[in-house]
Structure formats: C-alpha cells, structure tokens
Amino acid sequence: MLFVIFRCVINFRLESVIIPWRFGFGCGVCCGVVVAYIVDYALSFVMVRFVDELFDRLKESGYPSRVVSVERLGLLQRQICEQRDQGLLDDQVYRDRLEWFRFEVPEGLRAARSLIVVAVPRPMTRAVFVWGGVRRPLVLPPTYTAYGAINDQIKGLVGKILSEKGYSVAASGLPLKLLAVRSGLGEYGRNNLCYVSGMGSFLQLVAVYSDMPCERIVGRKQR
C-alpha cells in the first residue's frame, strides 16, 4: 500500500515537471521554426532586392544580365561532354579550342555560389588604312578588338557593385553561349550564335563567378 502511495506521489511530481517541460519544449520548437521562417523570408527578400539592383545597374550601362547558381555547372559540363562522347563535337576542334573550359569553381574563389552572365553590345569596328594616299576602310567583325579589355571591364564593374555588399568576383572559363541560353539571357539562332532580345547577336558574353548566394532567388522570373 505504502509503495503504491509512494509511486503516486513520484508520478505526480514527475508529471508536474514533465508536462510543463514538454509544453515549454514544444513552444520553443514552434517559436524556433517561426523565427527561422521569418529570417529566411527576410533574407530572400533582401537578396531579391539586391539582385534586382545588380540587374538594374548593369542594364543602365547597357548590359542585360542573369544570375545562375554554380550548382548548374554540372549540367553545362554534361551537355558538352555528352556531345563530345557521341562524336558530335569534332575532336580536333575540342582539343584546339575548348579544352581550356573549366567547370569547377575557381581556386581564387572557392566559396563561389553564383555566376553572373552579362551581354555587352559589340558593334562592328571600322578601321581605315591609308595606303598611297588612298583611304582603305576595313570592317572588323565584333569581338575582334578589345576582347580581353571588355572581359576585364565587366569583371571590374560587377566586382564593384558586389563589393558594396561584401562579395567578391573571379573570372570564368565556360561555354558562354550555352550558359547564356540556359540562364535565360539569350537564345540560340539558327546559325548557333546567341541572340539577346533587343541586341541581336552583335555582342560579347562575359561570365564571372561570385560568392553571392543565389539559391534563394531560383525560380524567380528575372528581367
């Protein structure tokens, strides 16, 4: 009998401690989930605003752009490699022109999380040679001049905008038309060049890595 009373008292004590503790624990978990949800929502809102600002500032300079996650690099690589394995890409051309593609995040920016793809207008350049007193104009196709300088200029501009939020950039070595088309920046024309709405195909594509996260804006309709 005494033993039964003792068990009842103990159980009562335990219940009086455990029930509030469980209740408190449950409330704590719920609050934690709600707070995490609010923080996540606030962060995605901030990121979307910042990416919008990046697009706007590049657009003001005449450069449409897109952002994609580095998680997509595997898809890019697979598409090129599968075509090569199927013999759709000439081996010699691949060795001569494409072997330098690198699908891993760069050494200099191991924390890279996104790629910013930018289209820069490149009208034809007319060079005029004077020979024997006669002016001889020569039309140079787009991208035959200042190719490296444009790459550096865009890397500098994107780097400057992102540095305001504490992010860094690094150069890339990727198949740019495929990246631009897959990111929604452009489309392939019948001649396999990339066309960007409002710009045609007279353009130079530039892509830079950045440690700016962009997973949170995936699925968002970009301008």
> With helix as H, strand as E and coil as C, how does the chain read?
CHHHHHHHHHHHHHHHHHHHHHHHHHHHHHHHHHHHHHHHHHHHHHHHHHHHHHHHHHHHCCCCEEEEEHHHHHHHHHHHHHHHHCCCCCHHHHHHHHCCCCCCCCHHHCCCCEEEEEEEECCCEEEEEEECCEEEEEEECCCCCCHHHHHHHHHHHHHHHHHCCCCCEEECCCCHHHHHHHHCCCEECCCCCEEECCCECCEEEEEEEECCCCHHHCCCCCC
* Residue numbers at the binding site for ligand B12 (CB under 6 A): 79-80, 83, 89, 93, 97-98, 141-144, 175-178, 181, 188, 191-194, 201, 203-205
CB of 31 to ligand B12, least distance (A): 46
Nearer to ligand B12, 80 or 116 (CB): 80
CB of 52 to ligand B12, least distance (A): 25
Nearer to ligand B12, 102 or 216 (CB): 102
CB of 154 to ligand B12, least distance (A): 10
CB of 151 to ligand B12, least distance (A): 8
Residue number of the CB closest to ligand B12 reads 141
Nearer to ligand B12, 47 or 210 (CB): 210
Nearer to ligand B12, 14 or 93 (CB): 93
Nearer to ligand B12, 25 or 188 (CB): 188
Nearer to ligand B12, 194 or 217 (CB): 194
CB of 18 to ligand B12, least distance (A): 60
CB of 187 to ligand B12, least distance (A): 7
